[in-house]
Structure 1
Amino acid sequence: MDNLKKVRELIRKNGLDGFLVTNPTNIYYLTGFKGLLSADREAYLVLAKAPAFITARLYQSEAKAVRKNGLQIAIAKERNEMLKLAINKLQKCAKVGFEKNNLLFGEYEELKQGLLAKLTATENFIENLRVIKTEEEINKIEKAQIISQKAFKEILKTLKVGQTEAEIAHNLLSIIHSLGGEGLAFESIVASGPNSGRPHHKTGSRKISKGEILLLDFGARYQNYHADLSRTIFIGKANPEHKKIYHHVKNAQQKAIKKISHGIKSNMAFRAANDHFKGERLEKYFLHGLGHGIGLEIHEEPYLRPSRETTLQNNMVFSVEPGLYFPWGGVRIEDLVVIKNGRAKVLGKTQDKIIEV
């Protein structure tokens, strides 16, 4: 069953006879259409008795490819007329669902005024389908991750004391392109010295120095699917304290990966890592969740957090990224896993040894 049929069946089961898809990632997932600026409204997807894809004239060539999915195509002369076409396609519906996290209030008001149907807000309606990946999707994510791992090996050869974080980030992007990546999955985090103690540091002009930690968090994008990789590098010889922290983070990751299996709750994976830190009285330095799903977006379900109880299932793909953060810096190690045959399988290879350059 293709994605469009799955969603239409889900709509029926939820007592809806119409649905308006506005999230551009979900539109791509269902139709293959990808616009240029996701911040702008470039298309609507109407799922009713006669499903329809609606866009503006500037995308009429791209709309021809969407036609292959058996959708009706409606082309608006201007973007601000697209929603009127969508409303027209939903006129015969009695109960219409919409994506509450991706509909502007002005759009909601226009829907309410233009339809007699009851409007029903939904959350993660299509995202819950996306969380279980197909073999093709898993292969694309793995390819993106392998490109990222190869890029890491190449960037190691270029590192020199005195380089700025921004220079390293620039070089990393060039390497990813040279290896077949479409670009970055997100803006790379290059954090040196005390900056590595900030989990979401913004790459800047600080120069790397001997005796410090350099933390890289980045990912390639391949055929619209994302990778995510974090590696901790020691510039020069690692001191005993830093080595000890590195090994604790690595052990926490290994314990979490071993715990992950089909059927467990996502917070149990978090606990496996956090319990290791608790045993070493380090848990207060673990400042974030253990991981997140990945695919067409860099952050998707499932989330491996203490409060989340998502049931992990075969063909889910997500990161496992424990970290410890201090005033002098931090250590984070991140890899992607997929649940296959009930167990976690790492995409690509893990980095088990300490890296000193």
Structure 2
Amino acid sequence: MKIFVTGHKGYIGAHLVDLLKQEGAQVVGCDVGLFEGCNWEPVVTADRDLVKDVRAIEAADLDGCDAVMHLAAISNDPMGDLNAQLTFDVNRDASIRLARVAKEAGVPRFLFAGSCSVYGQGEKLDLDEGDPLNPLTAYAQSKIETEQAVSKMADASFTPIFLRNATAYGHSPMLRIDLVVNNLLGSALSYGEIRIHSDGSPWRPLIHCRDIARAFIALSKAPKDVVHNKAINVGANSENYQVRDVGDQVQRLVPSATVAYTGQVGSDPRNYRVNFDLLYSLLPDFKLQYNLVSGMDELHGRMVEHGFSKKDFEGDQFVRLRTLKHRMDRLG
């Protein structure tokens, strides 16, 4: 099995390469290297590394591949807002182009890293794949438009699969703290204060980053007729939490920390609780390895072991937006 992974040096990609190699797959990784040096632990290397902009991938790069697992993106709402046009160029246009190139190259399966953020301000709770989409950001809109365009390419020889991933958290060799769970835990360790920027009421579906990587592999191996051209919420019904629940878990781990509602974002309109029944009906043997408690226990242990501090929280290494801004500034 030969797998082409974009964004393989990222937060989820580091886990995906590791797991694919454990499966015995040959991994071709493609990453432009924007976040080179942001790892805090050793990263498992791909069999072949392409240092290449995802917008420049050609059919020859995909020669002999059994699947494309497409993670590369401007990776969250604040980064998308930094430059909305760049977000659409990379997340939508390059993704659609890559799917077309993969199809022309004879790659039979294309797995796309989407997001539950496409539901935005949910009209109801427990949203499933058939419910209306209500994107509130360029990032979410780019994911929807990619799904719509790539879905039209599906045919007997080309199977796209769209993973609408819950909000990632947890330990990775390429740690990020610009994600709600990781951010609140980092804040507690850095300041002794759990800084919640909303009123704590919005719902978020949460999933450990390694479980997202596991879902990619499970869906890549599933029978074609089970997953062909489907959008699938990736997470678990039990792993929907309000932000204040995350704050409670942080306080369990750092009892001396106090909770502070900063009001920085006012009433956060991004509020969605998601239903994941489809995933488990398609993959009845698939189960998450982590829940919020075990995932946070692991992350807390690693952060303490590394001596995570205010310097780390305020620095560039673990915040993708800061790293991207500084590297864009240097490029002029």
TM-score (norm 1): 0.28
Indicate the structure with greater helix content: 2
Q: Kindly indicate whether structure 1 or structure 2 has the higher relative contact order, using CA contacts under 8 Å at least 6 residues apart.
A: 2
Task: Report the structure number with the largest CA radius of gyration.
Answer: 1
TM-score (norm 2): 0.30
Indicate the structure with greater strand content: 1
